[in-house]
Structures are given as C-alpha cells and as structure tokens.
Amino acid sequence: MKIISVVGARPNFMKVAPIYRAFEQLKMKNEKLNNDPSTSPGMMDTTNYKPPAIEHLICHTGQHYDAKMSDVFFQQLGLPKPDFYLGVGGGSHAEQTAKIMMGFEKVLLDERPDLVIVVGDVNSTIACSLTAKKLHIKVAHVEAGLRSFDRDMPEEINRILTDTISDYLFVTEKSGLANLKHEGIEESKIFFVGNCMIDSLINFLPFTERSDILNQLNIKANNYVLVTMHRPSNVDDEKRLIGLTDLINSLSLKRCVVFPIHPRTRKNLEKFKLIEKLNNNIILTEPIAYIDFLTLIRNSELILTDSGGIQEESTYLGVQCITLRKSTERPSTVDEGTNQLVGEDFEIAKTAANEVLNGFRKEGKIPDLWDGKSAERIVDILVNN
C-alpha cells in the first residue's frame, strides 16, 4: 500500500506532521510483528500473520516557497525531506494550480500510489486531488466538510470541489458532518476524527517552555496583542488596509502589538506607503517559525486575525480571539470556543478588542475529539479499509 501525502502551504505542514508520525509508529509496530508475530495479543493464529506493508511518501508542491514559510516548518515539525518537491512558486490561482497539476501528474505516473492524502483548502489541495482522480487514484481529504458559505473565498471553492471527488472525508468538527450530509456525500465516506492541527499543537506545546521569543521581542506574557492578517479581503484593497492600520494603531495605544507580516501583507503595506504609519508600539516581524509562533499564541492577551488555523489553536488554548471576516468555516471556535466573529467592520472589531483588554473574556471549551489522536484515527481507518 503506497500513500502520498501532499503539502503546499504553511498550514498543511502542521496537519501532515502527525499523520507522518502515525504512519511511522505503525511501521515500527509492523516491523516488530514481522520479527515476532507472537507479540500481537489476542490473535487467533499469529504464526502466519504478516502485517500490511505501507509506504508513506510526502510531496511538497512548493506553493509556499519562502524558506520562512516552508523549510523551517519541516525542520521544527520533525518532517523528513520531502520525497518529491515540485517547486511551483507563485503566480495567479490558475497558473499555480496548473503548474501543480502538471508536476504532480508526473509523480503519480512514476509512483502509481494507491491513495493520495490532501489537507486543508489551498490550491495544492484541489490541484492534487483532481490530478489523482483523473488517474483513478483514491483521494483522502483531511479537514473535510468545513464551509464558510462565502464563495468569494478561493479556499471555499477548493474545499467544496475537493470534498465532491474525495473517497475518504476526514472531518474535524461536527459542522462538517452536517455540511457533507446536506451536500449529499455518501455517509460511508465520512469519518469524524478530530483535528490534526491540534495534534501538532498538543505534541509541540511542551517545546514552547524553552522558546525565547518573548525575551527576543522584549514583551511580557498576557500583556500584548498578536495580529495576523493575510486574506485578500483585508489586505489587497487600499481603503481596507488603511482601516486595518488605524485599528492596529489604536490597539497599540493600550498594549504592545506583535505583528508577524505575511509576505502578501507586507507587499501591500509598502505599496500603499502605510508601513511607515504604524506606531512605535507595534513590533513588526518576518513570518515566525512554528514553535515560537505557538509560544506567541499561547501567551497573548488577545489575537486579531483572519486565519482559519489560529481560530482553532486559540480555542484549544483558551486565548481570546477576534476574527475579522464575514464568516468562518470553523463555527465550533465561535459556538464552543473563545473566538469572536466580528465581520469586516473595523469599528466593531475595535469595540470588541477594547472589551477584551478591559477584562471581558469569552468563556470557551475544547470541541469534541480535539485530543491529539486524530492522525492515529485517520491511519487506522485507512489501513483497515
């Protein structure tokens, strides 16, 4: 059984890392059984038992090609050097998707895997899913069923199309089950397994105790606001970017603001000459490596974001989060967690942020199956099927 997992952009790495570890654990277990079948308890006849041989490979499309957004994540997450690297780089959605499909097709023709695992909702997700299905190779989608119901978001299109053609749909939260059922997806394909992003968080949380990022930035725990913004709806339009700049400046009058700038956001801040208008109490950084960034999330008083993954991480950690979007594909973070969805009005966001900084805290809980064992469930399902 040969399986290829696909990564392309920063969020993918945190979701594939626990899957890689789960396959490695299974491999070690199988090797032990091959050497001594009697170690398998409860088997009727272990004499002739041979566990399945599984080859798990990783393909990096290169959708994120900046080392700070890619290479360092492989190193920190304990992922091996990718078996295949497509190096597609940037470009429009159409250019990037086409280049991924062309490169991945060559990999599939050479390797002939039994299954392709895709994660998330980036261009690599739909491009590799479509390429595999055209070659009659089964597809498993990790993080299936999430819906923002906003088809202006390219990620929403990627999610819907990938789920439509996938053979295994691994769901992170209960809203995903309802969405897939409503869309008529065959129930035998759907599996509620929990959240691989949280698997990585739980695994690496102890490492944050050794991170020196707070000292490096000269900030104190629970006394700063963490900001991440990268979606086109927030950073591509000059008027909206001015509004975002004003919002961040206003928050910096009450707390230090830490702002790791996505390459897209930095480009537009410089293009519209707004970067020099940010106050001195705003710490601008390059994209930050996973362990250090997890440390910043864990110790922040408030997070202002438009990221999907950070909504989940802050909910698990019980950190206050304000999401500047009209909708979220992760409603459990709002219904159960500490996330507030405030829309795209910066004044509403400012009011909500000031309430948090004045002591109002939204109470939350951890959603079902966010327990660090999601990847184990996924691998178990794939092997037993």
The token pair that represents 77 in the structure block = 């997450």
Is 230 in the active site? Answer: yes
Q: Please count the CA atoms within 13 angstroms of the CA of 222 that sit on its side-chain side.
A: 6
Phi, psi of 94 (to 5 degrees): -65, -45
Residues 6+ apart with CB under 8 A from 14: 73, 77, 196, 197, 200, 201, 290, 309
Looking at 68-149, which runs of residues are DSSP E strands? 84-85, 115-119, 138-144
In Å, what is the CA distance from 336 to each residue of 64, 224, 246, 297, 312?
32, 24, 30, 19, 11
The token pair that represents 220 in the structure block = 């104190």
Question: Residue 341's beta-bridge partner residues?
Answer: 323
Instruction: Name which of 350, 346, 323 is nearest 334 in CA terms.
Output: 323
> Amino acid identity of 337?
G
Looking at 50-109, which runs of residues are DSSP E strands? 55-60, 84-85
Residues 6+ apart with CB under 8 A from 10: 64, 69, 70, 73, 287
Instruction: Name which of 319, 259, 251, 256 is nearest 287 in CA terms.
Output: 259
How far, in Å, CA of 141 to CA of 237, rounded? 32
**Which of 60, 64, 230, 262 does the annotation list as catalytic?**
230
How far, in Å, CA of 125 to CA of 113, rounded? 17
What DSSP element (H or E) covers 339? Answer: strand 339-341
Catalytic residues: 230
